[in-house]
Amino acid sequence: MAAEREFPLILPTNKIQIMSNNLLKGKKGIIFGALDEKSIAWRTALKCHEQGAELVLTNAPVALRMGTINQLAEKVNAPVIPADVVNQDDLKNLFEQAMKHFGGGVDFILHSIGMSLNVRKGKSYTEIDYGFNAKTLDISAMSLHRVLRTAWDMDAINEGGSVVALTYIAAQRVFPDYNEMADAKALLESVARSFGYHYGVKKKVRVNTVSQSPTRTTAGSGVKGFDGFVTYADKMSPLGNASADECADYCVTLFSDLTKKVTMQNLFHDGGFSTTGVSHAIIEMMEKGSQE
């Protein structure tokens, strides 16, 4: 019997390279909430551009004045269209202008919006101002419903499109100083599920939330004790905290055709924090503290 010949394993590296690039080639998307280069929306816009997408950037007029979004617009060759997410007319104009720019509908949307008046005013959860609270819920959660409703009415999202909204695990667990934003994120996730059902039936549009590790953004740093959130989560997570760029990469996969059957999910992108009871690093830290 003739001996079998051994051949070296040759991986088709050129094909692997092609598979990893241009995931969003030909796709068109709207990015809500890019404020500065620290923001996840900003990083996501850069990643989407790298992967071949065409973009429209938007934020509230006051945020546009505070941030540096025009620098991002130049980098990704995208127009900036102001829109207040609690104003239906603004959203209608946004989609009209975006569809005109693209010459058709949009394929993906990132909702990266959150604002708490009670946090800004230093009010604890047990003493929140209910008028402020209503505005927080409207801006941070119901704005997703408004965006989806406007797109629905205008038939603005293409068949098989994808919508992602950013959230945080405080929607499921108590983080005392996260305040009313925990309620807002819980409502945001509920809107994604409920509207996701209807949009899935109508046009196979996917709607998901990504529950990201605490990330050092301009908005996040306004939460009391935020540095403690970041350090604790990093010590708890087997893989460590997910960065803004890593979150952006994850969003790209959700906008791509690789996730056509993923919808109505709250997807944890947190290095394993959400399913870790306790870590050795935390135990060692606690034991060391008790000895001191």
The C-alpha atoms of residue 190 and residue 170 are separated, in whole angstroms, by: 14
Instruction: Please tell me the predicted confidence (pLDDT) of residue 21.
Output: 80
The C-alpha atoms of residue 12 and residue 67 are separated, in whole angstroms, by: 44
Instruction: Please tell me the predicted confidence (pLDDT) of residue 225.
Output: 67
The C-alpha atoms of residue 161 and residue 281 are separated, in whole angstroms, by: 41
Residue 57 carries which side chain, given as an amino acid letter?
L
Residue 235 carries which side chain, given as an amino acid letter?
K
- How far, rounded to the nearest angstrom, does the alpha carbon of residue 47 sit from its chain's CA centroid? 13
Q: How far is CA 202 from CA 104, 154, 158, 206, 262, in A?
A: 18, 13, 11, 11, 16
Maximum Cα–Cα distance across the chain: 86
- How many Cβ atoms from other residues are within 10 Å of residue 109's Cβ? 27
Instruction: Please tell me the predicted confidence (pLDDT) of residue 13.
Output: 45
- How far, rounded to the nearest angstrom, does the alpha carbon of residue 70 sit from its chain's CA centroid? 20
Instruction: Please tell me the predicted confidence (pLDDT) of residue 7.
Output: 45
Per residue of the chain (292 residues), give pLDDT as tens: 455 445 444 444 444 343 448 999 999 999 999 999 999 999 999 999 999 999 999 999 988 887 799 999 999 999 999 999 999 999 999 999 999 999 999 999 999 999 999 999 999 999 999 999 999 999 999 999 999 999 999 999 999 999 999 999 999 999 988 999 999 999 999 999 999 999 999 999 999 999 999 987 766 555 666 787 789 999 999 999 999 999 999 999 999 999 999 999 999 999 999 999 888 888 888 887 666 5
Instruction: Please tell me the predicted confidence (pLDDT) of residue 31.
Output: 98
Instruction: Please tell me the predicted confidence (pLDDT) of residue 221.
Output: 57
- Between strands 106-111 and 157-167, the pairing is parallel
